[in-house]
Structure 1
Amino acid sequence: MKKIIKEYILITIGLALVAVGFYFFLVPNNLAVGGVSGLAMIINLYVPALSIGAIMIVLNLILFVIGFIFIGSSFGVKTIYSSLGLSGMIWILEKTCPMSGSITNDLFLELIFGILIGAVGLGMVFNQNASTGGTDIIAKILYKYFHLDIGKALLLSDFLVTILAGIAFGPKIGMYALLGVIINGFTIDAVIAGMNICKKVEVVSSRGEEIKRYIIEELGRGATLYTAKGAYTNEEKEVITTVLGKKEFIKLKIYIKEIDKKAFIITYNVHEILGEGFKDINE
C-alpha cells in the first residue's frame, strides 16, 4: 500500500509540473510541441468552440483502448488517473490564472522553460509506469516492444504533430515546436536515468565479515563474493560486490569509514537494475 501511495504522489507532482510548463509557457505562444495536447491546440485553432481540454479527452479515450490492449490494465489505470489529473489541473489553471498573452514575449526563452519543466514532470510520470495519455501511450508501446528509449520513441510519435503545427501556426512556430520535441525527448531520458541511478559497490577490507553482515542485516541487500589476487603483493583477498540505492550507499560508506579507514572501495553508477529488491523485470 505504501508503494502505491508513493507512486501516485510522484505521479501527481509530475502532472503538476507538466501542467505548469504547458499552460504558462507553451499555450500562450502556440507551441504545439507534440502530444495530444499539441494536437488539441491545433484543432482548437480551427474549431474554437471546442476547448483544448475537451479535445484532449476525446483523443485520449481512443488511445486508452490501444494502451489497454498492448500494455495492460495496470498501466491503463495509472494513465487514466494521469490524463484526467492533467486535464483537471489545466482546467483549474484556466479558471484561476487566466492568461492574456505571453509572460515575457520571448518565444525561445519560454519554449526552453516550458519544455524543461514539463519534461521533468513527464520523466517522473513515466518512471512510475504511467503516462499522461496521448502519444505517450504510443511511446510506451514502442519502448515495450522495440526497446526504444522512451524519450526517442516520444520524439518519433510527436514528429507528425510538429509538422501540423507548422502548417497551422506558420513555419517559425513549427520549427520551434520541433526543437521543443527534440529537447523534450532527451530531457525525459536524462530525468528517468537520474531517478533510477543505483550504486554498484566493490569493497576490499580486512573487516569483510562485519561489512557483509551490515549489508545483509542492516541494509537488507545481498552481496556477491569474489577472490582476487593483488598484482603488487600477490596476496589473495576477498572482494565484496553489492548494488545499493544512493542513500544505502552513503550509510555503507559511513559504516566502513568507522571500522576500517584503510578499506578499498570502488563505485559505479548503474542506471537500471532489474530483479528482486529493485525494479520488476516485467515492467
Structure 2
Amino acid sequence: MKQAHKKLLQNCLLIMAGAFIYSVAINDLLLPHQIGEGGVTGLTALGFYTLKIQPALTNIVLNSILLVIGYKFLDKKTIFYSLWCIAWISVFLKLPPILHYQTKQTLIPAIFAGVLMGAAMGLIYRGNGTIAGSTIIASILNKYFGIQTGTAMLGLDLLVAIPSGLVIGTERMFLTIIELYIAAEVLNILNNLFGAKYSVKIITSKVEPMAAALSDQLKQGITMVHTHGYYSGEQRDMIYIICSKKQSVKLFALIEELDPSAMIVLEPVHSVAGNELQLLK
C-alpha cells in the first residue's frame, strides 16, 4: 500500500511540474507573441485573441468535455490524472508572466515554446496523465492503433493550427506549425528515452536459471513460449519479456553473465495494452 501511495504522489508531482512548464510556455511565449497552438490549447488561444476569454476558463470547460469522451476508452487512472493536470494548468494559467520575454524575432519564442511544450507533455505522460484536448484522442490512437503519441498529436493539432491563420495571420500560422512540430519531436524523443517499451525474446540452454534471475531482476512475471528446432527437433522454452529501455540494459548484462551464447531478439513496441506485471509466471 505504501508503494502505491508513493507512486501516486510521484505521478501527481510530475504532472504538476509538467502543468507548470506548459502554462509558462502559453503565458510567456505563445500569447504575448500571438502564436497559435493546436487542439484545445489552440482554441483557447484563439478565444483569447478574438474575444478576450480567459485561457483558464476555456481550458477547463473544453477539456472536461473531451474527458467525458475519453472516459469510455481510457483507464480510470489516466482520467483521474488528466483531471488533476487540467486543474493545475488552469491554476497556473492565472499566474502573471514569469519570463517577461519579448522579442520581434518571433521564431525564437516559437522554438522555445515547442521545446517547453514537448518537455511538459513528457513529464505529464511520465505521470500517467494527459493534458486532455488532442492528447486524449492521441492516447486512444496509440492504445488501439499503435501510432506514436507525438505524431498523432501533431496531426490532430494541425487541424486547429492551420485554420487559425485566418485569425493570427499566415506568418504566425507557420510559426505555430513549427512550434507544434518541435513539441511533437521532443515528446517522441522523451518517450523513447524514458517511456519506450521493448519486447525481448531469449533462446538459451539455461532456461530455468535464466528465467528465475530475470524475474528477480525485473520484479515481474516471465512468459515462457514453447518452441522446437526445425532441423534438430529439439524442444525448448523461449523466454518472452516486455521491458523498458533502462531495464533492457541491465537485462543484457545479466544474460551475458548467465549464458554468453544465448540468442536475444530485441524489438521496439509501439503500444502495450494491460500491465506487463500480468505476464504469465
TM bin, normalised by shorter chain, reads 0.7 to 0.9
Whole-Å separation in 2 of the counterparts to 1:246 and 1:151: 18
**C-alpha displacement of 1:74:** 4.2
| Residue equivalent to 2:42 | 38
Per mean C-alpha deviation after superposition, the further-off stretch among 146-155 and 162-171 is 146-155
Tell me which of 9, 15, 23 is aligned to 1:11.
Answer: 15
Residue in 2 that maps onto 1:181: 180
1:41 aligned partner, one-letter code:
A
Q: Residue 33 of structure 1: CA displacement?
A: 1.8
Task: State the distance in 2 between where 1:16 and 1:31 align.
Answer: 19
Shift of 1:236: 5.4
Which residue in the other structure is 2:92 paired with? 89
> 1:16 and 1:269, CA in 2 relative to 1: closer, same or farther beyond 3 A?
farther
Q: Return the alpha-carbon distance in structure 2 between the equivalents of residues 201 and 241 of structure 1.
A: 6
Cα offset, 1:82, TM superposition: 0.6
Q: Residue 99 of structure 1 aligns with which residue?
A: 100
- Give the 5 Å matches for 1:255-266: 255-260=254-259, 262-266=260-264
CA separation in 2, counterparts of 1:279 and 1:190? 27
Could you list the runs of 5+ residues in structure 1 that have no partner in the other structure? none
CA–CA distance in 1 between the matches of 2:122 and 2:278?
Answer: 16
Contact 2:82 2:132 in 1 (8 A): yes
Q: CA RMSD in A?
A: 3.6
Match of 2:55 in 1: 52
How far 1:126 sits from its partner (Å)? 4.0
Answer yes or no: is the 8 Å Cα contact 1:31–1:177 preserved in 2: yes
Task: Supply the AA of the counterpart residue of 1:7.
Answer: N
TM-score, scaled relative to structure 1: 0.74
Following superposition, the deviation at residue 184 of structure 1 comes to: 3.5
User: In structure 2, what is the Cα distance between the partners aligned to 1:249 and 1:140?
Assistant: 25
Amino acid paired to 1:180: E
**Cα deviation per residue 1:23-82 (whole Å; 9 max; x = unaligned)?**
44333322112132222222222333x433233233334434444466575443222211
Q: Which amino acid aligns with 2:40?
A: V
Secondary structure of 2:40 counterpart:
helix
1:165 aligns with 2:160: no
> For 1:141 and 1:213, how far apart are their aligned partners in 2?
35
> Per-residue deviation at 1:222?
1.0
Q: Is the 8 A contact 2:111 2:178 kept in 1?
A: no
Where do 5+ consecutive residues of structure 2 fail to align? none
- Give the paired residue count: 270
- In structure 2, distance between residues paired with 1:251 and 1:27: 45
Q: C-alpha distance in 1, partners of 2:147/2:165?
A: 26
Counterpart residue type for residue 115 of structure 2: L
Higher alpha-carbon deviation: 264-273 or 173-182? 264-273
Q: Which moved more, 1:1-10 or 1:81-90?
A: 1-10
Deviation of 1:235 after TM superposition, in Å, equals: 10
Write out per-residue CA displacement over residues 241-278 of structure 1, whole angstroms, 9 at most, x where no aligned residue: 23134444344433344455x43342413324444535
Query: Are 2:208 and 1:204 equivalent residues in the alignment?
Result: no
The separation in 2 between residues aligned to 1:145 and 1:81, in whole angstroms, is 24
